[in-house]
Amino acid sequence: MGLVEYEVKGSYAVITINRAEALNALNSGVLDELDKIVDGIDTDAVRAVVLTGAGEKSFVAGADIGEMSTLSKAEGEAFGKKGNDIFRKIETCPVPFIAAVNGFALGGGCEIAMSCDIRIASEAAMFGQPEVGLGITPGFGGTQRLARIVGPGMAKQLIYTARNIKADEALRIGLVNAVYPAAELMEQAEKLASTIAGNAPIAVRACKKAINEGLELPMDEAIALEEKLFGSCFESEDQREGMANFLRKKDDPAKVKHVDFKNR
Ligand code: CO8
């Protein structure tokens, strides 16, 4: 067993951070393996990815404090960049990532969850950015992504106080989309991944790009980006078959079938 596990389950995959003895804390070894796995995802075949942590207690309890404790300023900055580069790969990976948060999601754990497209959590999940209590800032994108997800006021309160919040509060502030009993979390995450994977992959990928890149642009440019991506879906086999399938319903509702999208 490696520090990070990767399992392809048909049209989606599951990545598991596998360092349960340290509550899945992110050390350099975990980050290096994760980087290789994300680089190696076959984004033609895999249409959604679930990211979770091994064991029943923790998703990811942050960056490894032992490893960080003796870093110089330059090394600290380099370690921040190492994490940021990988999390950015997840954020910009063409296929959607779902974080299945099964316990502690603190510091770098909250940050890796926020680099995913969608977060769902178990009732036992706990979120927080405890860094200022350790004498550092969030360093894997927390100051930026938390503010974008829950708004600057709430992000500042959580970051300045270093207060951890439970799953119900994370749901209330919009940090997660849904909360499930622990025993149901993976089933729900995989069901969500499977639903996404059943839709037209070219279109899903274009939606991810349009939302992520559009949010960084003024509205006129964002709308123009959407137009380009919308146009890019046409003349694909999937667009023709998806629409033809709908139109067949007009002749005979019995003719509507599940479309087996081909990703072309
Ligand atoms: N780093 C290293 N080891 C950890 C970490 C961590 N973040 N979290 C837990 N562990 C280890 C513990 O040391 C312990 O190991 P051992 O058994 O060898 O003593 C084992 O995991 C189990 O942990 P506990 O015994 O502490 O379990 P508890 O149930 O008592 O407590 C907690 C669970 C509350 C999650 C507790 O472990 C804790 O507070 N952990 C630290 C959480 C934290 O502060 N995370 C943020 C770290 S900072 C960060 O992520 C910054 C990201 C950006 C970095 C940028 C780099 C420059």
Asked whether residue 82 falls in the same domain as residue 110, the answer is yes
Domain span at residue 24 reads 4-197
Contacts of 138 (CB under 8 A, 6+ apart): 107, 111, 129, 131, 146, 159
100: CATH: 3.90.226.10
- Report pLDDT for 143: 98
User: Given a cut of 90, is residue 234 above it in pLDDT?
Assistant: yes
Largest interatomic CA distance in the chain: 71
Assigned domain for 105 exists: yes
Asked whether residue 190 falls in the same domain as residue 234, the answer is no
Q: Decide: 226 and 210 in contact? Cβ < 8 Å.
A: yes
- Report pLDDT for 24: 98
- Report pLDDT for 61: 98
CA atoms within 13 A on the CB side of 121: 30
Query: Tens digits of per-residue pLDDT, 153-169?
Result: 999 999 999 999 999 99
DSSP reduced 3-state for 178 = strand
What is the whole-number distance in angstroms between the Cα of residue 120 and the centre of ligand 1?
A: 22
- Note the residue count of the chain: 264
CA distance 62 to 227: 39
User: CB of 80 closer than 6 A to ligand 1?
Assistant: yes
Asked whether residue 179 falls in the same domain as residue 247, the answer is no
Asked whether residue 123 falls in the same domain as residue 250, the answer is no
To the nearest whole number, what is the mean pLDDT of the chain?
A: 96
Query: Tens digits of per-residue pLDDT, 6-20?
Result: 999 999 999 999 999
Assigned domain for 51 exists: yes
206: CATH: 1.10.12.10
Query: Tens digits of per-residue pLDDT, 73-90?
Result: 999 999 999 999 999 999
* Whole-structure pTM value: 0.97
- Smallest CA separation from ligand 1 atom 28, residue: 23
What is the whole-number distance in angstroms between the Cα of residue 32 and the centre of ligand 1?
A: 19
Q: Decide: 64 and 164 in contact? Cβ < 8 Å.
A: no
Cβ atoms within 10 Å, residue 222: 16
Asked whether residue 21 falls in the same domain as residue 118, the answer is yes
Assigned domain for 111 exists: yes
Assigned domain for 74 exists: yes
Asked whether residue 181 falls in the same domain as residue 243, the answer is no
Confidence at 253, pLDDT banded by 50, 70, 90: confident
CA distance 18 to 3: 5
Asked whether residue 245 falls in the same domain as residue 132, the answer is no
Number of compact structural domains in the chain? 2
User: CB of 65 closer than 6 A to ligand 1?
Assistant: yes
From 179, 197, 215, the end of a domain falls on 197
Assigned domain for 61 exists: yes
Q: Tell me the residue type at 107.
A: G
Asked whether residue 243 falls in the same domain as residue 160, the answer is no
User: CB of 23 closer than 6 A to ligand 1?
Assistant: yes
Q: For ligand 1, what atom is nearest to the CA of residue 131?
A: 48
